[in-house]
Amino acid sequence: MNTSTPSLSRRAVVEFFGTFLLIVFATGAIISGSVSYLGISLAPALIVFVLILTVGYISGAHFNPAVSLAFLMMKKLSTRDFVVYVIAQLAGSALGALSLVGIFSKSKTDAVHSGVNSLSPTSTFFTGFLVEVGITLLFVFVILMATQMPNNSPQWAPFAIAITIFSLLMTFIPVTGACFNPARWFGPALISGHWENGALYIFAPMIGGVLSVFAFRYLSSGAGRNPA
């Protein structure tokens, strides 16, 4: 088995096309107007599940700047790699959102602002910010526990991550759109020009990603444990 680390260019390509597909499935389900609430929650979970299984070994299948930031803090990514990952993710997100204009028509994508995440009218910015910090913390924590603990079986990681995505979307879409990924927000916001609450969808997930590392280090340390 070849255990050498794939080149940064190969990893960047995977992050680009993985994020592209995430946006196509996550927002395409919204734009189509024919997918149920269950389907809108299930589509991104399933595509991430498939991507982890097929190309996760190349780049780690982040597709999310908050995840990449956590791995930077864990010293699993260099600063250069982190910057390249995030650029690839944002570019993939933008292309994904743009491609949906051609697939569904501009009038249809405009009707839902390209599926960009939005804050519920009944929620305050502060509430939404706390929700996004909290759900990102949980999401990235699950990833770290599933992939960075030697006592856990790595073959179960795709299931744990996909189930977490599905559960968070099902519960928190009505509150903030359940973003927990700045790249998920960026492409649709760029293509639709709908930048409302951008600070919420950029900074809250990144803070959640940082906090997840502290939670992981605290809870995974101790006798009989060997955190990465």
Q: Could you read off the pLDDT of 118-169 as tens digits, one per residue?
A: 999 999 999 999 999 999 999 999 999 999 988 777 789 999 999 999 999 9
For 51, other C-beta atoms within 10 Å of its C-beta total: 21
Average pLDDT, the chain: 94
For the chain, domain boundaries: 8-220
- CATH of 8-220 given 3.30.70.100, 1.20.1080.10, 3.40.50.2300, 1.10.10.10: 1.20.1080.10
Contact 196, 177 (CB under 8 A): no
pLDDT at 224: 47
What does the pLDDT look like over 39-87, one tens digit per residue? 999 999 999 999 999 999 999 999 999 999 999 999 999 999 999 999 9
pTM of the model: 0.94
The token pair at 102 is 């051609």
